[in-house]
Structure 1
Amino acid sequence: MNERARLAALTSGLLVALLAGAMIGPYPLSVAQILAVLAGEASDPQAATVFFNIRLPRVLAAALVGAALAAAGAAYQTVFRNPLVSPDILGVSAGAGFGAVLGILLGLPVMAIQMLGFGFGLGTVALVLGLTLALRGAGHVLVMVLCGIAIGALAGAGISLVKLLADPEQQLPAITFWLMGSLAGAKRADVAAALPAVVIGLAPLVLLRWRIGLLAMGDEEARTMGVEAERLRLFVIACATLMTAAAVAMAGVIGWVGLMVPHMARLITGPRFDRMLPAAILIGAGFMVLVDTAARSIATLEVPLGILTAVLGAPVFVWLLARGAQAWRA
């Protein structure tokens, strides 16, 4: 199957996932009802309200979060030349989580909580990069990763402290549910707020995907091809961090998507970043829509997204490890 056929098939799968997400829920909608609502000819006003105010914003938010986390994971794995890297390696998820739970503790409105999470996520990675530059030595990438682990641990300690200080009846449940990831309160304003950050972070990755792919060959090889490896690596990290912070600020901490989806894309397209990135974006968007649809459908109470992604991601990750071990022994 050539590249165009693969992208067409993945795009079709995403459209099916979006349609399923729009149809399935406590108030089910048929295809005929959705078409009537889109055409402005719906006989049931409740169907139009559910579609435009609840179902459509949530489906779009899930697709946006999935695409952002998958693209960020693919970018991180390429620039660090490590397939086990995920978008939160530099502490962005922990930093955004700390900012958001601090906003909940202070009783801020939802939009302010999201903006605080977004700002803390970016600030955490900026601190990591600053420490890396200050400590720069022979192991530049290794120092960056270790600084990310350290700052992420500090942010995690801050989250624990906030949970200790929070009101156990109102604030603590909200903090716990947010940290497990959810799109239950997603609205059109949330999608509109996160979309610019995701587009600003994603567009350079798509436009520079061929150059970014050269980083997987090593810095020396990339320089021989005319690519300034250090500058490009920092630029890619900044773009991926921007997308991750926006996704975490809107949906909470959702693990495994940025780690698992790039591997799924590689199985379809191969290791080349320029081919893998578009596939990862489409797979991530569709996967997140289906997971969110399941989260609000499989039980009376909504299941946090982080639980479902872990349940799905852990077995897939073990399978990928087993597959890699078989290939190594062969």
Structure 2
Amino acid sequence: MNNARKHYSMKSNRTNVITFAVLIFAFVLSIGVGKYSLSIEDITKVLKGTHENQMTINVFYMLRLPRSIMVVLAGIGLSMAGSVYQTLFKNPLASPDIIGVTSGANVGAAFSIVFISGNVLSVVFGAFLGGLLALSFVIGIVKFSRTDNVLTYVLAGIVINAISNGILMTIKYFSDPLNEMGAIEYWTMGSFGSITGEKLKIILPFFIIGMVGIFLMRWKIHVLSVSDEEVKTLGISVEQSRYLILLCSTLVVASVVCVTGLISFVGLVPPHIARSILKRNDFNTIVFSGLLGAILMILSDCIARTILPSELPISIITSFIGAPYLAFLVCTKKKI
């Protein structure tokens, strides 16, 4: 048994190191790709402070670096949050977008834009509150139905998404068509085009708080993946621990979508790939899914800003990647 655990630990660590190396390469690629291309030599000179072209320096520090950092944070955050949801709910389809968390967060962000203010701090709070309410409604519907299975969570997510879309359309109706309408449409499609260093600084504390909470409660996440009865025998408060972990995960999701908008399937696909590679469902798998999510997000973002003369919304790319993968799992009848 000890040899098996040691072998798995070595395999997991090796896989994470290799994946992290790929992520670093993808991150550098993300900084260089765009209408104004930056070579490795340009990036090196800018970091050393020896580059003479002020335009290149401005593009690196004001556009590419904040955007690439946000892309990585979005991939890590959404994928790890999705993996945490799946572990806690013991449900392979419990991703932030399918169970309605991201839809609720978008409604909260839109409400803040129209009825409160458009500053990033209020939008973060609105997105967090909207995502938390959506998650609470899903849990309530599942408990009221007294059937804790995959179909119940999917149906509850469909209900919450439908309600969120209805509220979102109502908010659009009362919004200013010249200013607020465009901002709301931005949230529903998702984009990294408006990321700046200032926005990154504002959301970073919320993201870090959520992620630190997830890491501090990592052993509880693993324990809560078994039956509630077994957890109670260990002296752990099931409801309190579950809600604290979900609060942290929802804060991570809200901190991302409040500046990027809705990003589909990133919270669903990487956790499945991670479990299929590591053949486990522990916290190492959650971390691995975050690394995979960051790589997927970087590649999607590079495609979104290079495939056409004008930049595509990021959810278009992730949907074309995620939906066929989910269909493949269903058609091959693999355990998801």
Moved more, 75-84 or 113-122: 113-122
Q: Which segments of 5 or more consecutive residues in structure 1 lack a partner in the other structure?
A: none
TM-aligned CA deviation for residue 144 of structure 1: 8.9
Contact 1:209 1:277 in 2 (8 A): no
Pick from 171, 178, 200 the counterpart of residue 162 of structure 1. 171
Mapping for residues 275-294 of structure 1, pairs under 5 Å: 275-294=284-303
Contact 2:108 2:131 in 1 (8 A): no
Pick from 238, 246, 260 the counterpart of residue 251 of structure 1. 260
Pick from 250, 253, 258 the counterpart of residue 241 of structure 1. 250
Counterpart of 2:14 in structure 1 is 5
Moved more, 229-238 or 107-116: 107-116
Counterpart of 2:4 in structure 1 is none
Structure-2 separation of matches of 1:107 and 1:137: 33
Are the structure 2 counterparts of residues 287 and 109 from structure 1 closer, same or farther at C-alpha, using a change threshold of 3 Å? same
TM-aligned CA deviation for residue 39 of structure 1: 0.8
TM-aligned CA deviation for residue 292 of structure 1: 1.3
Q: Deviations over 1:246-295 (max 9, x none)?
A: 11111101110101111111122223222201101111122112211211
> SS where residue 49 of structure 2 aligns?
coil
Counterpart of 1:218 in structure 2 is 227
Q: Which amino acid aligns with 2:284?
A: R
Are the structure 2 counterparts of residues 272 and 161 from structure 1 closer, same or farther at C-alpha, using a change threshold of 3 Å? same
Counterpart of 1:79 in structure 2 is 88
TM-aligned CA deviation for residue 36 of structure 1: 0.6
Counterpart of 1:52 in structure 2 is 61
Structure-2 separation of matches of 1:262 and 1:93: 17
Counterpart of 1:139 in structure 2 is 146
Q: Deviations over 1:1-34 (max 9, x none)?
A: 7122111101001101100100000100000110
In the alignment, structure 1 residue 38 sits paired with structure 2 residue 42? no
Moved more, 26-35 or 280-289: 280-289
Moved more, 240-249 or 82-91: 82-91
Mapping for residues 121-200 of structure 1, pairs under 5 Å: 121-122=130-131, 124-125=133-134, 128=137, 132=140, 139=146, 150=159, 152-168=161-177, 170-200=179-209
Are the structure 2 counterparts of residues 106 and 274 from structure 1 closer, same or farther at C-alpha, using a change threshold of 3 Å? closer
Q: Which amino acid aligns with 1:18?
A: F
TM-aligned CA deviation for residue 206 of structure 1: 2.2
Q: Deviations over 1:206-242 (max 9, x none)?
A: 2332331222221122333444322221121111111
In the alignment, structure 1 residue 114 sits paired with structure 2 residue 128? no
Q: Which segments of 5 or more consecutive residues in structure 2 lack a partner in the other structure?
A: 1-9
Structure-2 separation of matches of 1:207 and 1:245: 19
Q: Which amino acid aligns with 1:45?
A: Q
Pick from 325, 328, 331 the counterpart of residue 319 of structure 1. 328
TM-aligned CA deviation for residue 191 of structure 1: 1.4
> SS where residue 224 of structure 2 aligns?
helix
Q: Which amino acid aligns with 1:115?
A: V
RMSD: 2.9
Counterpart of 1:23 in structure 2 is 32
TM-aligned CA deviation for residue 86 of structure 1: 0.9
Name the TM-score, length of structure 2 as normaliser: 0.86
Structure-1 separation of matches of 2:198 and 2:179: 25
> SS where residue 273 of structure 2 aligns?
helix
Q: Deviations over 1:61-87 (max 9, x none)?
A: 111111111111000000100101111
Structure-1 separation of matches of 2:221 and 2:208: 18
> SS where residue 267 of structure 2 aligns?
helix
